[in-house]
Amino acid sequence: MEADADADIIAAIATPPGQGGIGVIRLSGKNLAGLAQVILGKLPRPRHAQLCDFQDTEHHIIDQGIALYFPAPHSYTGEDVLELQGHGGTAILNLLLEQCLKAGARMAQPGEFTLRAYLNNKIDLIQAEGVADIIAASTTEAVRCAIQSLRGNFSQRIDEMVNALITLRMLIEATLDFPEEEIDSIQIMQIKNDLQALQQRFEDIFAAARQGHILQEGIKIVLVGSPNVGKSSLLNQLAEEDAAIVTDIPGTTRDTIQRNITINAIPLHIIDTAGLRDTSDLVEQKGIERTLAAIDNADVVIHLIDFSSTQHQDPLNKSGTLGIPTDKPIIMVFNKIDLLGQDPRIEQTDTTHTVYISAKTGAGIELLRDTILNAIGWKSQPSPEGIYMARQRHLEALTQARSHLQAASGFIDHQYQLELLAEELRLTQTALTSITGRFTPDDLLGEIFSHFCIGK
């Protein structure tokens, strides 16, 4: 897609609402000279900060500040861009914005500046999303990871993969041009080797993207178990604050309580839930319903069991109405080891994680934190430069690409199925290019940029 050559002028306040030292209004469009003449009395010198009086449409001075003018195409959007940096007050910024609208601009939609940058080929879609990811990042590592996307590192890896796919497709197409001749086994071996190299390169990209997705989205963790097993105490230990009320009375927690914490820079959204048990209390029943809903939406379930109890009640495996069929990662946590004088420990296999702790004393909490990271597949990195901030749509496209690559490998040993191999590679390429926006439906663009803040 290409940007409209006659695109209208858009304007928005680009700084957060409220009082501050500086407030910025950003404008973008074709030929801002007329609007600048109204507001500033002149068109500022390109790329030089100039002290100017800001005027209303009747030439009354309403503020004084810095004006910056970036003529097309050397601007963020690829259009003429004007930034007005005045005093950071709500009333004065709204007044200045109102005058810009009277002078011929219109209010920008959320993300419209960045959308125009994308449509004018200043950035690709991954870089555009990187802008929003930097703003929304909740940890320093997430910011650094998002910067890698904004700088184009993720896009470059995808483009390299696409170029390699094109080269391999050309080799296969050249081979198919001579169907009457016997296809040389050396050609088949070269295609096979190139495909294997592609798959390895792809897996590296996929692993880096999955790590970045964890940094961006965080992990939803739900604490479940019978009443009075220590879920609220565990939440307080993990949050390092008294986030939940702790008593010896079963059923104290009637509703879900959520706290956001970080472990090794990974955002974790931890939810304490009502204890699972058969009850006639209508309020407690409603809390249990919310517990089951929280489990459905969770990425990881931490299942607490009272280790000091001889019964070791296990609501997840009950045959009654509280049975919870789930294929989510479950961390079994045996709590209250202090009552038996035992030390914290981990028992781990390829499919199960079991941790013995005391939520009251804090013993074993660090072991549990490490187990959580292990359960979500997080691999610690020396720096965020080796991972890419990936959104859910990126992972879905990568998963689709992986499926087609795997299907392609099934045709490599069959000379007369090279057409199917070529088609799977084409579908792989299509999935990858949808990530950078080379082939992206307009409705997807609308969905992506609608979540941006106004002024970006």
For each of the domains in the chain, give its residue range(s) and CATH number, in order of start. Answer: 10-123 (3.30.1360.120), 134-215+386-437 (1.20.120.430), 218-313+330-375 (3.40.50.300)
CA distance 322 to 278: 8
Whole-model pTM: value is 0.69
Q: Which of 28-42, 133-147, 205-219, 379-393 has the lowest mean pLDDT?
A: 379-393
Q: Look at strands 10-13 and 80-88 and give their pairing.
A: unpaired
* Confidence label for 254 from pLDDT (cuts 50, 70 and 90): very low
Taking the alpha carbons at both ends of the chain, their separation in whole angstroms is 20
**Average pLDDT score over residue span 92-107:** 95
When comparing pLDDT for 422 and 278, which is higher?
422
**Average pLDDT score over residue span 291-313:** 77
| Contact yes or no for 11/106 (Cβ under 8 A) | yes
pLDDT surpassing 70 at residue 262? yes
* Confidence label for 3 from pLDDT (cuts 50, 70 and 90): very low
Report pLDDT for 385: 57
**Average pLDDT score over residue span 286-298:** 72
Report pLDDT for 247: 44
Highest mean pLDDT (candidates 228-237, 321-330, 423-432):
423-432
| Contact yes or no for 234/223 (Cβ under 8 A) | yes
* Confidence label for 50 from pLDDT (cuts 50, 70 and 90): very high
pLDDT surpassing 80 at residue 2? no
Query: Mean of the per-residue pLDDT values for the chain?
Result: 82
Report pLDDT for 318: 44
Report pLDDT for 284: 55
Q: What percent of the chain has pLDDT over 90?
A: 39
**Cβ atoms within 10 A of the Cβ of 196, count?**
12
**Average pLDDT score over residue span 436-450:** 63
pLDDT surpassing 70 at residue 256? no
pLDDT surpassing 90 at residue 108? yes
pLDDT surpassing 90 at residue 412? no
pLDDT surpassing 80 at residue 223? yes
Q: Which of 7-11, 254-258, 329-333, 343-347 has the lowest mean pLDDT?
A: 254-258
**Average pLDDT score over residue span 222-228:** 83
Highest mean pLDDT (candidates 80-89, 131-140, 375-384, 405-414):
80-89
Residue at 339: amino acid letter: L
Q: What percent of the chain has pLDDT over 70?
A: 79
Q: What is the pLDDT of residues 161-204, one digit of tens each?
A: 999 998 888 888 777 665 555 556 667 788 888 999 999 999 99
Contacts of 321 (CB under 8 A, 6+ apart): 278
CA distance 145 to 380: 13
Report pLDDT for 241: 65
**Average pLDDT score over residue span 138-142:** 79
Residue at 96: amino acid letter: L
When comparing pLDDT for 224 and 280, which is higher?
224
| Contact yes or no for 69/44 (Cβ under 8 A) | yes
When comparing pLDDT for 294 and 431, which is higher?
431
When comparing pLDDT for 317 and 307, which is higher?
307
Q: Which of 110-124, 290-304, 328-342 has the lowest mean pLDDT?
A: 290-304
Report pLDDT for 164: 92
Highest mean pLDDT (candidates 73-87, 288-302, 378-392):
73-87
pLDDT surpassing 70 at residue 393? yes
Report pLDDT for 422: 87
**Average pLDDT score over residue span 253-260:** 66
pLDDT surpassing 90 at residue 317? no
Report pLDDT for 1: 39
pLDDT surpassing 90 at residue 20? no
* Confidence label for 250 from pLDDT (cuts 50, 70 and 90): very low
